[in-house]
């Protein structure tokens, strides 16, 4: 059944390519860029937190809430990127 669903998805993609619908490319770029950007941001954030904990282990309790605060901001960009990708996909934008 999974192969059948995959083939039906390929038919849809081929149909979109024949009609020249470019919104699929826009959806892919919006979703991909938001995920890649937030992944880089999370990696940088945790790297800096680990470096600060290594420099001052006693300040971990003070830096932990700020780490989660920053993580929430980085994660919101990923969610907004997916939201805009869906808005592009359903022709709202």
Q: Which two tokens stand for residue 8?
A: 């039906």
Q: Could you give the CA distance from residue 12 to residue 27 in angstroms, rounded to a whole number?
A: 15
| pTM > 0.85: yes or no | no
Domain boundaries, the chain: 39-93
Structure tokens at 70: 């920053």
Find the DSSP H helices in 1-93. Answer: 2-19, 23-55, 60-89
Q: Which residue has the higher pLDDT, 25 or 71?
A: 71
Greater pLDDT, 17 or 74: 74
């Amino acid at each position: 059944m999974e192969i059948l669903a995959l083939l039906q998805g390929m038919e849809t993609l081929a149909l979109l390519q024949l009609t020249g619908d470019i919104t699929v490319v826009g959806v892919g770029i919006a979703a991909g860029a938001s995920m890649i950007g937030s992944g880089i941001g999370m990696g940088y954030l945790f790297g800096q937190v680990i470096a600060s904990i290594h420099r001052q282990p006693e300040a971990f309790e003070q830096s932990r809430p700020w780490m989660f605060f920053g993580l929430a901001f980085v994660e919101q960009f990923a969610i907004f990127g997916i939201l805009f990708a869906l808005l592009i996909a359903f022709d709202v934008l």
